[in-house]
Amino acid sequence: MAEATTDGDLGTLLAVFAHPDDEAYLAGGLMAVAADAGRSVTCVTATRGELGFADDDPRSVEERMAVREAEMKACLDLLGVNDHRWLGFADGGCAAIDPAGPVGRLAEILDEIRPDTVVTFGPDGQTYHPDHIAVSGWTTQAVRASGSGIRLLYSAMTPEWGRNFTAMVPIEQVMMTDDPLPTVPADELALWFRCDVELAARKVRALRAQASQVEPLVRAFGLEAYVQLTRDEFFRAPTPGDWVA
């Protein structure tokens, strides 16, 4: 059975996610530990998250992108990550893209940085968000095609974490379908990384740098509960069925 560990040594690390703040929530602690140890860390973000604002937000799409870009930089600076790549796709549009383009770009990044470990969404995207699912597929295909023995890890949630989360957040606010929150039992995890107290506080400071997305949640949960909710990072290994064509 997987047990929580504060040892986050995964070697050279590549994190591939869809929107700004995905990376900090799902792998911020691991990236910070790797950066602090002097290991190479690269973060790739598919979109600038321009849809992540209220419908009545008065800013233009370009202004929203600029906000998300600045917040993302501030977040990664706090985590110690200085190699960040934008893929530049439209928020909400990843599923409509011919996978050959992003898969090719990710393959180039893999060849350039030669990571030991790649972390990304699982095929369910955790919330069934089409952008998340597309990014998972692109990354899986690129890693599979590399033939280089890279370790691929999919971000996951345990049933216990899911219960704690849905006790604070109405499930319909985060899920893109009527399906239940997809979870993975702890004994099926490949890695359960828990931020120690100092790292958990740092991770939350990094998350709060993305204030347009995070501050409403901090106010709603209370800071202590928010810290506890974001402290753990769960990952599973791919199964044969995950290796999409």
What the chain holds in terms of domains, given with CATH numbers, is 13-238 (3.40.50.10320)
* Mean pLDDT (whole number) for 79-88: 98
pLDDT tens-digit readout, 26-40: 999 999 999 999 999
* Mean pLDDT (whole number) for 174-200: 89
Q: How far apart are CA 115 and CA 92, in angstroms?
A: 28
Sign for the pseudo-dihedral over CA of 207, 208, 210, 214: positive
Question: Any idea of the CA torsion for 135, 137, 141, 144, to the nearest 10 degrees?
Answer: 100
Task: List the beta bridge partners of residue 192.
Answer: 234
Least confident of 56-65, 89-98, 176-185: 176-185
Q: What is the pLDDT of residue 144?
A: 93
pLDDT tens-digit readout, 87-122: 999 999 999 999 999 999 999 999 999 999 999 999
CA dist 168 to 3, 185, 194, 208, Å?
24, 21, 20, 18
Is the pLDDT at 245 greater than 50, yes or no?
no
Residues 6+ apart with CB under 8 A from 138: 16, 99, 102, 103, 106
Is the pLDDT at 201 greater than 70, yes or no?
yes
Q: Which one is predicted more confidently, 55 or 232?
A: 232
> Would you tell me how many other CB atoms lie within 10 Å of the CB of residue 100?
10
User: Considering the chain, what percentage of its residues have pLDDT values greater than 90?
Assistant: 84
CA dist 21 to 112, 145, 178, 191, 226, Å?
24, 28, 24, 21, 14
CA dist 182 to 20, 71, 175, Å?
22, 29, 10
Q: How far apart are CA 33 and CA 199, in angstroms?
A: 8
